[in-house]
Structure 1
Amino acid sequence: MRNIKITVALIALLGLSSSCEDFLSEIPDNRTQLNTPDKISEILVNAYPGGSYMEFLETMTDNVGESQNLSGTTIKNSQNYFWQMAEKIDQDTPAYYWDACYTAISHANQAIEAIDKLGRPANLNPQLGEALIARAYSHFMLASVFGQRYNPATAATDLGIPYLLEPETVLLKTYKRNTMAEVYDLLEKDIVEGLKHVGSDYTQVKFHFNKAAAKAFASRFYLVKGDWDKVLLYSDDLSIQPIGKLRDLVKNNALNTTAQFRIYADASETTNLLISSPYSTYNRTIRSNRFALTGADRDVFFGSATNLFNKSWLYGSFSSNGSISIFLPKTSEYFKITNANAGIGQPYVANVLLGNEELFFNKIEAHIMKSEFDLANTEIQYFLSTRTTGYNATTDVVTQAKIVAKYPVIADEYTPFYTLTPVQTSYIKAVAELRRIEFIHEGLRWFDIKRFNYVVTHKVYNEPSRILKKNDLRRAIQIPLHATNTGIEKNPI
């Protein structure tokens, strides 16, 4: 792998607070000394991406269709829908997310370096754990977005992303673009070491990598890697019937409209393990984009026919554009005024980055892959009991026969890098469809599409449909232009 170069602008272009801008712009000898737990904790506040992946990833999935709301056509929305390289570099774009992740990484690395210089004393273990897990998270998300899916058979040659282990201290530094195998080895090292030290003693615990959030991230990592025992190890906080730990839709549906939107990513929700507030306009565009969740697709995805018990779902939704575009109450915007006289400011959206629903699905999938179908039945039934209107524990029972009948095997539909038996295929398909509707709007469906090499068809008004075939190179989003202009190797096209 040839060496490449990354400029400081690439690593720390966006998302810095004014104090951190001053800190990172000075030469090392003039910087504020990070020599106390409080100072190191302060810089770690910015070790989380200040940008969101949800809009652009969601638009590439099969959750999104042609609404025929032609007035809502935008370059950004269209290019995402057609799996084209985005021209825009503002909020909610791949380029913005790239910069946001490397900015977060730079802060994590500053904290780690400071802790190392102090000899890694025990009183800084919580900060070290948070920094390592945060660094791993941003690298993992970058690799998941800008690389092809992880496959151990090809990972040694597949292009990953630059994995940065030290802060930027010079204007121009030589790096290499690590392979996916190298990225995953470094990720695992950071995750394992970070989990030894990460704690939960924060004022705002859910805005940091607390112990529960770190374990949920580890379960996601090992799910992608196909290490089912590790998935189960890190999902042990949830029983096979995690009463009180999943989102209570009955309670939330009883709230007024404003409260429903606010509560989804609120720290008071037990299920939410890690929350962020990125700079984003997704709360607005989700209501107006031409390519979005349509009313017709809503009726299919959330119709009783998709429920294993053939009953109505508890998911509520809202509509706009005369019921052309549909959105669930998940995105709540906070508008920060930066100039009161001019009436201008910046929009931020609350996002759930990790939660118990995903952790529970990971656990179910691991049981399926270990052929522990009785456990999977109990877990799927419990999940459905929290999402089904009029659930009856006596008659609404999950069995292998029901799963196989409801989710028949279609040749070459689900093709992960590992082998699936026919029964496993039906179960995996069932869980994937449950994940699909549970996390709609949140972009996570894209990662399942990549993991399972799933074909996606996008319809277009008065034009031929667009198809993302298996092994299509566009499944790895192209490296942003401003990064490739500095020497970053492009993804193959």
Structure 2
Amino acid sequence: MFFPAVIISLSACTGKLDIKPDQSLNVPETVADFQALLDNAEIVNAFIPSYGEAGADNYYITDTRYNGLSANNERNTYIWAKDLFPVNDIAADWYYGYVRVNYCNLVLEGLEHITTGIGTTAYNNVKGAALFSRALSFYTLAGEFCKPYDSATAATDPGIPLRMKSDVQIIYQRASVKATYEQVLADLAAASELLPDITTFKTRPSKAAAYGLLARIHLDLRNYREAKNYANLSLAIYHSLLDYNTLDTASSLPFDMFNDDVLFFAGLTPTSLLRMSSSIVDSVLYGQYQNNDLRKSLFFRDGMGNTKLFKGTYTGNPLYHFGGIAVDEMYITRAECYARLEEPVHAMEDLNTLLRTRWKSGSYKDMIAKDADDALKKVLTERRKELLFRGLRWIDLRRLNKDARFAKTLTRIIKGSIYQLPPNDARYVYPIPADEIIHSGIEQNAR
């Protein structure tokens, strides 16, 4: 037995992860045991970081709702305040991100000590899944707690602590942003060699999902050729899109959690800021949907007055939003890459393929782009309309702010006071939780 107990509870700080034994549980020793550990969907497939989505521009809340928020960190997140996570305040995105990392490390270490089943399909699936989930955790943490990747400064910009061992006594300092992304890409490259093309259970990662996550990350890094290639690989395995004409527009939750679009199922961390019953969709965004666009009735429902609320999550649950990987993201990611690589015809082919499944049958007219720049603008407009409330808007804002054509100043108005977040502002990087700073002494982000 290589460790005394499975992980049940961890503190908020990576430097003081406390393993607490539960005597009712057996110590994992076999491939099946490690698969069972990764099948704990309440940890491995939940709590994908959502502070970024909460800081983005797809919604707003009323003064009354703002005053009623129960946590100071939520109020401060909404207005992009300097201080967010005081001492003894649980920063859920950081906390659960490293809980998931520790699960993965326990599995990877455990696989090194088994003597039977090595190299089998089951063994490869488990190892690939652990590498995938660790990569997803590191990447989503970096998207909130690190500066956006800049090749000129990535080697010196502080990244995140890269916990590679389950030993809770080890205090990890922050790696560089460059090293952070190198580790993420290395984990995913290894995972993609081990995972099956498609899995029966969408809570388990597949090769198609690993390629999908690689496409997402390379798009974020502005490596458009690589992003296109990985989107190609993902779509070559699975490319069927959910036809929105088959859904009930009157339903309060029209999408099943394992619908045909989903490659890998995961949910964002629940937060009151993104509550579907009270977070009002940006009216300018809603106004971009045309009447024959089925997303207008499948994604939204009426709120108070003339407001609209979001209902189109792929979780099938009103309590939290979808944070996984889906086929529609692959089409629109590849379309953007084609546009940026001066291939507007291919960009519009992908965009039109997607949108034909989103409009009422027979009503959609294919869009045509006059050039690559026009194609890019059309794709980015549809990207926001298709992928809203999936934990992607914040990273899109961060990368698009690097391009003056698409840079945007975000604005909130609360009780008559105006709060703004200019492009490339330091507040696009969230502060490390205070407890982590106190315990490990790692560098705090400038705000």
Q: Same fold (TM over 0.5)?
A: yes
1:297 and 2:272 equivalent?
Answer: no
Gaps of 5+ in 1: 1-6, 26-30, 305-310, 335-346, 405-422
Report the CA distance between 1:81 and its aligned residue.
Answer: 2.1
Describe the superposition over 1:189-217 as per-residue Cα deviations: whole angstroms up to 9, x where unpaired. 11111111112686x62011122211211
Q: Percent identity?
A: 20
- The match for 1:409 is none
SS in 1 for 2:432: coil
1:114 and 2:110 equivalent?
Answer: yes
Describe the shift of the 1:318–1:188 C-alpha distance in structure 2 as closer, same or farther (beyond 3 A).
same
319, 322, 345: which one pairs with 2:302?
Answer: 319
Q: Is the Cα–Cα contact under 8 Å of residues 156 and 179 in structure 1 kept in the other structure?
A: yes
SS in 1 for 2:232: coil
- The match for 2:78 is 81
Aligned positions, number: 421
Report the CA distance between 1:183 and its aligned residue.
Answer: 0.6
Describe the superposition over 1:346-393 as per-residue Cα deviations: whole angstroms up to 9, x where unpaired. x96463411011111111122122211111121122222222346556
Describe the shift of the 1:435–1:201 C-alpha distance in structure 2 as closer, same or farther (beyond 3 A).
closer
Distance in 1 between the 2:274 and 2:152 partners?
A: 42
| TM score, norm. by length of structure 1 | 0.75
1:398 and 2:367 equivalent?
Answer: yes
Distance in 1 between the 2:15 and 2:158 partners?
A: 22
Describe the shift of the 1:70–1:97 C-alpha distance in structure 2 as closer, same or farther (beyond 3 A).
closer
Report the CA distance between 1:49 and its aligned residue.
Answer: 5.5
- The match for 2:126 is 127
Q: Is the Cα–Cα contact under 8 Å of residues 48 and 269 in structure 2 kept in the other structure?
A: yes
Describe the superposition over 1:324-361 as per-residue Cα deviations: whole angstroms up to 9, x where unpaired. 35223327676xxxxxxxxxxxx964634110111111
Distance in 2 between the 1:233 and 1:44 partners?
A: 29
1:61-460 matched pairs, under 5 angstroms: 61-65=56-60, 67=62, 69=64, 73-74=68-69, 75-84=72-81, 85-87=83-85, 95-118=91-114, 121-123=118-120, 124-170=123-169, 173-199=170-196, 205-236=201-232, 245-254=240-249, 256-258=251-253, 260=254, 263-264=255-256, 266-267=257-258, 269-276=259-266, 280=270, 285-289=275-279, 292-294=280-282, 296-297=283-284, 299-303=286-290, 312=293, 314-316=295-297, 317-330=300-313, 349=320, 351-389=322-360, 391-392=362-363, 396-401=365-370, 423-424=372-373, 426-453=374-401, 454-460=407-413
460, 463, 466: which one pairs with 2:419?
Answer: 466
Q: Is the Cα–Cα contact under 8 Å of residues 450 and 475 in structure 1 kept in the other structure?
A: yes
Q: Which moved more, 1:312-321 or 1:216-225?
A: 312-321
Amino acid at match of 1:484: I
Q: Which moved more, 1:138-147 or 1:357-366?
A: 357-366
Distance in 2 between the 1:96 and 1:148 partners?
A: 20
Report the CA distance between 1:185 and its aligned residue.
Answer: 1.2
- The match for 1:418 is none
**RMSD value over aligned CA atoms?**
3.5
Amino acid at match of 1:361: I
- The match for 2:432 is 479
Report the CA distance between 1:35 and its aligned residue.
Answer: 2.8
Describe the shift of the 1:207–1:21 C-alpha distance in structure 2 as closer, same or farther (beyond 3 A).
farther
SS in 1 for 2:284: helix
Report the CA distance between 1:134 and its aligned residue.
Answer: 1.0
| TM score, norm. by length of structure 2 | 0.82
Report the CA distance between 1:455 and its aligned residue.
Answer: 2.2
Q: Which moved more, 1:181-190 or 1:70-79?
A: 70-79
Q: Is the Cα–Cα contact under 8 Å of residues 276 and 319 in structure 2 kept in the other structure?
A: no
SS in 2 for 1:442: coil
Describe the superposition over 1:70-98 as per-residue Cα deviations: whole angstroms up to 9, x where unpaired. 576524543222112434899xx981011
Distance in 1 between the 2:90 and 2:226 partners?
A: 30
Describe the shift of the 1:105–1:70 C-alpha distance in structure 2 as closer, same or farther (beyond 3 A).
closer
